[in-house]
């Protein structure tokens, strides 16, 4: 899990999209809207891989940091629960500096608040973060599922697609997540590795003016749902 793209637009507008690759039993059928958050709730762990708040904060999780890792028998907290705790902090840098990442399984997180976008990687020992351009375009592929060579190949697909779609809207990006690259059951954007791990859903979070729209398609049911916030900043 997962494949994630970010398309930046003017005036802090953007579209963040994730294809979630996990076991089919972990796919929620619809979005959850609780308190000031919208997210897809993981059926087993109770956390999430992607969420948005009415304050304009957005977070997306990928399993693994830079390379595949050995899984320990027990961790302090699920990564999905950690994602929800991000919203307890004033901003992304407070989360990075104050949250205790010890004994959390390695991950990559994309953290977006009203003034910044940060890529945070935790390899089990060190946290490595970098500030990204809110107007930029990015793609990530989970290191637990995709080799470095496959990640680079997917980056080429993304670059070629952007050349053909220089000003994409959310529907164009959604189509890329469904039909981009090459059809490959093992490494394609829509994948299925003999039913053990497969693309169970697509989630899109779009910020346009003062609205955050979350669109979710559960590919197992199948079922489509959406929700939105008018953000306060």
Strand partners, 38: 33, 52
CATH number of the domain where residue 164 is located: 3.60.60.10
Phi then psi for 101, rounded to 5 degrees?
-90, -5
Q: Which range of residues forms the domain containing residue 140? A: 3-230
**Lowest-confidence region among 17-31, 83-97, 146-160:** 17-31
| pLDDT exceeds 90 at position 105 | yes
Across 71-94, average pLDDT = 95
What is the pairing mode between strands 127-132 and 117-122? Answer: antiparallel
Of residues 10 and 129, the one with the higher pLDDT is: 129
In whole angstroms, what is the distance from residue 84 CA to residue 208 CA? 23
Q: Is the pLDDT of residue 141 over 90?
A: yes
Domains in the chain, number: 1
Each residue of 44-77: pLDDT tens digit? 778 999 999 999 999 999 999 998 998 888 999 9
Contact status, residue 13 vs residue 24, Cβ threshold 8 Å: no
Mean pLDDT, the chain, integer: 95
In this structure, the number of other CB atoms found within 10 A of the CB of residue 142 comes to 22
Helix (H), strand (E), coil (C) string for the chain:
CCEEEEEECHHHCEEEEEEEEECHHHCCCCCEEECCEEECCCCCCCCCCEEEECCCCEEEEEECCCCCCCCCCCCCCCHHHHHHHHHHCCCHHHHHHHCCCCCCCCEEEEEECCCCEEEEEECCCCEEEEEECCCCEEEEECCCCCCHHHHHHHHHHHHHHHHHCCCCCHHHHHHHHHHCCCCCCCCCCCCEECCCEEEEEEEEEEEECCEEEEEEEECCCCEEEEEEEECCC
Residue 51 is predicted with a pLDDT of 98
- The two structure tokens encoding residue 87: 């919203």
Model pLDDT for residues 20-37, shown as the tens digit of each residue: 999 888 778 789 988 899
Mean pLDDT to the nearest integer, 103-114: 97
pLDDT of residue 53: 97
């Amino acid at each position: 899990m997962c494949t994630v793209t970010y398309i930046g637009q003017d005036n802090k507008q953007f579209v963040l999209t994730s294809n979630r690759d996990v076991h089919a039993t972990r796919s929620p059928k619809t979005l959850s809207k609780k308190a000031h958050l919208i997210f897809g709730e993981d059926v087993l762990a109770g956390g999430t891989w992607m969420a948005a708040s009415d304050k304009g904060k957005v977070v997306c999780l990928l399993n693994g940091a830079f390379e595949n890792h050995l899984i320990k028998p027990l961790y302090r907290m699920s990564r999905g629960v950690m994602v929800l705790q991000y919203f307890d902090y004033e901003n992304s840098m407070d989360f990075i500096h104050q949250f205790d990442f010890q004994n959390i399984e390695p991950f990559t997180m994309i953290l977006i608040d009203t003034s910044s976008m940060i890529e945070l990687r935790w390899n089990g020992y060190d946290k490595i973060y970098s500030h990204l351009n809110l107007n930029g375009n990015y793609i990530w592929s989970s290191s637990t599922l995709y080799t470095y060579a496959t990640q680079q190949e997917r980056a080429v697909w993304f670059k070629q697609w952007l050349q053909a779609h220089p000003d994409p809207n959310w529907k164009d990006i959604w189509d890329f997540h469904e039909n981009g690259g090459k059809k490959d059951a093992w490494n394609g954007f829509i994948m299925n590795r003999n039913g053990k791990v497969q693309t169970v859903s697509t989630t899109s979070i779009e910020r346009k003016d003062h609205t955050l729209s979350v669109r979710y398609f559960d590919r197992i049911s199948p079922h489509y749902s959406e929700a939105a916030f008018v953000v306060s900043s």
